Amino acid sequence: MIGPKVGKRIISQYGQKVTRAKRIQHFNPNGVGLRNGRFIGLPFHEEEAEVVIQSIPWDVTVSYGAGTALGPELVLEASGQLDLEDPVVAHAWEMGLYVRPSSPDMSQLSATLRVKAEFHIETLEAGLRTDRSIAILEEVNQACTDVHREVYLSSKSILAKGQIPGILGGDHSTPFGLIKALVEDHPEMGILQIDAHMDLRRAYEGFTWSHASIFYNVMNELPVSHLVQVGIRDYCEEEWLLAGSDPDRFTVYRDRDIRQSQFEGQPLSSIWEDVIHHLPQEVYISFDIDGLDPSLCPGTGTPVPGGLSFAEANALLDMVVLSGRKIVGFDVCEVAGNVDWDGNVGARILFRLANLAGYSQGRIS
């Protein structure tokens, strides 16, 4: 029984490579961005791609500005403006990248529950506790649990096919299922989080799966070896104390500390080397777009002054891969606002992460 299954898989992979080679041959990487519904107008179908991105249009628990559920749509639309050459990975596009379109059903459910969640938040802020608010909280928590389960199963399927998985959010709660799937295959995996926030709050506003609780949940429920946070500039005492209580698993680089070190003469390359020193060989990268300077992402739900420039973030990502570490998966979350700017920046970050992940795993020379 094992023989036929293995044989069928080998034939299937061979066929996919042949099809991808033909699509590469007939695709003009110097032409205009094709409006074919795919990321950057690339010619590949999902089964031919080395990297598969799941679009998760979900932002039910956002606590400030909504709209990140539209992130996948903004990024996909803006991607037509990207050119294909990567400064580190030559001909990276030939590896095959596929971004799944958002599910209309998930988008609709997110919008419906978001209205209910806003009522719950307003009730909390008024210092009230009502039966309706309690019922909404239970409904939202269950719906978020269901989404994480769906993402987990989908991620396992992608991994079983030998493809590199990624998430395009949506709010920052959306990658939990992917991280859970990956750590089962990569038990020594660490996480590099680029973010304005620590996201270590416990059930923020009562939402178990709040976007502000993603790494509280990850570090409490999953055997992730280490979390390295970069660009942090907005957090509460509870989060700071939690990270400080377990230095073997948490390392935090606040934006102010990075800048102070630079003011004192330490080059950024040296700071990034120190960041990478704390990462294991296998790395998951979680990129909340608000980790960047808010001039690059003004539409994101919780912008904070300060943050990394586009060049600084790219230098860190490049150095992770050039250090010999392997990127096993990644996410880009919290993109919102407009196609021309927020979507454009988000698309570029997504493309770089996909390219570097593939390169780090030897999917392209």
For residue 103, the domain's CATH number is 3.40.800.10
CA 284 vs CA 31, 114, 186, 280: distances in Å: 33, 29, 10, 10
pLDDT of res. 5: 29
**Do the domain assignments include residue 15?**
no
pLDDT of res. 122: 86
pLDDT of res. 8: 31
* Tokens of residue 325, six digits: 């570490």
3 state DSSP class of 256: helix
The domain tally of the chain equals: 1
**Do the domain assignments include residue 241?**
yes
**Do the domain assignments include residue 39?**
no
End-to-end C-alpha distance for the chain, whole angstroms: 35
**Helix, strand, coil percentages for the chain (3-state, nearest 5):** 50, 15, 35
**Do the domain assignments include residue 56?**
yes
pLDDT of res. 40: 95
Full domain range(s) for residue 225: 46-360
pLDDT of res. 206: 83
Residue ranges in the chain whose pLDDT is less than 70: 1-17, 365
Q: Is the backbone peptide bond immediately before 170 cis, with ω within 30 degrees of 0?
A: yes
**Do the domain assignments include residue 18?**
no
**Do the domain assignments include residue 21?**
no
Q: In what order do the strands lie in the sheet with 227-232?
A: 97-99, 51-56, 164-169, 326-333, 282-288, 190-194, 227-232, 250-254
**Do the domain assignments include residue 3?**
no
State the CB neighbour count (10 A cutoff) for residue 47: 16
**Do the domain assignments include residue 11?**
no
How far apart are alpha carbons 233 and 294 in whole angstroms?
Answer: 12
Alpha helices in 166-286 (DSSP H): 176-185, 214-221, 237-244, 255-263, 268-277
How far apart are alpha carbons 151 and 102 in whole angstroms?
Answer: 13
